[in-house]
Structure 1
């Protein structure tokens, strides 16, 4: 008699009596990870992406895979998360890769470089171009597996204690500027300061810095910069589409089942989309409220933009000469940017320019 038919006819008692037992699926052991964020908990958009990710992992795993999320400074310094993941102190982290350009300038391209890609172009390069595969190879040097996990969209150019009228006003300006943009700011006369989000307000209020940037109206309003100065400049030439990233320790990731690896990918992608949706939804209301409180908007002077663009291109050429990692990825990045911009000039720019002129 076939084994399956026998089992069906014999019933449980008969099976046990014969000593023949059907295979029983073993329960997978519960998984508990820790995620170190580089951001303060008060920023529900950028910090919140990690909370969304953790919630989705728990949901999709039926509660068997839980990740606790810890704000910057709780487990390690905000700028210490790469070391934490690399060394296995924590299993994963959520951060802005350009914070770590001091380790290798190439980190910055996984987030934003001056006059780089906008958020849609960044998605296209990572998900359908070579971006993800190139960075997966790069991060092997750091025992890290990377996943895109959030984007703010184009950012504001910051808050200035004094009005910025020309390139001359950048000379000697002490500005908190995130990551790689500071290298270009320095070349046009500014003095970049690398300060975590939770410490910026005090530095601006005390006059330790002359200017700061963070993200845009929704976050900036929460951080209270408008209480110190009303000069709000746009756009951030250094952050056209900055991408946030989930770093996972490679050993921890490889120890997961195929199912849990897929859950990590799906959950991070969900959080990636949600973050920008939140910014695009919440920034309009916040900018209205800031203007109502006396904030004045000013477009970044063209001579500053032009000088920064020239300095950025010179910097990228120099890095391509001395940093093999940078050259390999930037070559592909720049080619993708060129083709993407040729296309965006045809439709996106034409449509957006007309729609914005209507001032609906």
Structure 2
């Protein structure tokens, strides 16, 4: 582990004119004290590294010194696809590997290309989790990821919505998907390819059995089809609403994307007052009530009658509360 860290420090020094101990510590996720010891080890090994004190100080290599240490290991090469997703790499336990791979790539570039690559990293950042939602704890994510990398079958206890809630499942892991900050396992089971939310895995056992990966399986294509079919399954019913023009224009901000897109596809022509009728896909009456209340007074439920009555009752209760 220390040899790998010393190599990373050396590569970091080769990619920058000067770097502080604090910057090295943050990059490699170690303490500043550890960095001091590592710098002493590099110097003792004959590496011409110098430290300058002061506000503009830091460590640097003797001008012209280059070490050919930028050959990628297998793990580093496999991790490069996560280079733009630092939080995802960290979740999977690959943060240090991605850092080392990036340093090797940067050190192999000529100075002018290295500067351009640095400017891209400074100007673009991808934040995968969605707004207004907390990141779910995923204690078994690293273990599942290792099973995916190593193509090993797994058995796990899983909490689902349907009864019985706690079930035991066996799967051949085919891939991981990060969707709106949540991790999902795509696995092959006796009943076909299934999707599991990693945060709902309670216990996990890696089996001593290799998997048989379908030769034509495409993870990205599967996920696209899965999301589309998932939206169709969860929207089992619909409600007829009448919207004013302002509410109709703001549907994309007020509803989830699948519901807003489906509603827009059913819209009729506006009447003389600018009102439009839409068919809003809903999961259930209980789930529809907060969604429709979010639309405010610019939306009126026309059908079904039970949903209209429950929205009216909720509105009366809210008005009574605020009058009080």
TM-score, normalization by structure 1: 0.21
Higher relative contact order (CA 8 A, sep 6+): 1
Q: Which structure shows the higher strand fraction?
A: 2
Greater fraction of residues in helix = 1
Greater C-alpha Rg? 2
* TM-score w.r.t. length of structure 2: 0.23
